[in-house]
Amino acid sequence: MSEIKRLKSGPRMSQAVIYNGTVWLAGQVGSPGKSITEQTATILSQVDKLLSEAGSSKSKILQTTIWLSSMDDFDEMNLVWDNWVDQENTPARACGEARLATPDYNVEIMVIAAV
């Protein structure tokens, strides 16, 4: 049976969980109060670091879920996303509007990837 490995665990959650060749990342957020562009760039940098620590990379992302506090930010977020995502290995993706943990967060991104 495969071992479950947890990265950057705290009392409430782990930032990543690896099991059976798959890594699940917790929802990542950027610096509160920053622009959608800055928050998205920070999040994607965090995703890169967590995937690397898990033995994966953005080319192995299977699925991404993106929550925006306002769909008015969709195009601006996509400008950052499109420059970051591996164009040869784009993941399945969903994007919707949701009220996030605090009004200072504009975007939250969750990722599932192969290891």
Express each pLDDT in 84-113 by its tens digit: 999 999 999 999 999 999 999 999 999 999
Q: What is the pTM of this model?
A: 0.95
Cα 85 from chain centre = 11
* Euclidean distance between CA atoms 108 and 95, whole angstroms: 10
- In the chain, where does DSSP find H-type helix? 36-53, 74-84
Rounded average pLDDT over 20-48:
97
* 5-114 CATH fold: 60s Ribosomal Protein L30; Chain: A; (3.30.1330)
Q: What local confidence, expressed as pLDDT, does residue 87 receive?
A: 96
What 3-state DSSP class applies to 92?
A: strand
Q: Give yes or no for a contact between 50 and 86, defined as CB atoms under 8 angstroms apart.
A: no
Owner of token pair 């009004």 = 103
Q: Which pair of structure tokens corresponds to residue 107?
A: 């975007």
**Which three-class secondary structure state does DSSP give residue 16?**
strand
> Domain map of the chain by residue range?
5-114
Average pLDDT across the chain, whole number: 97
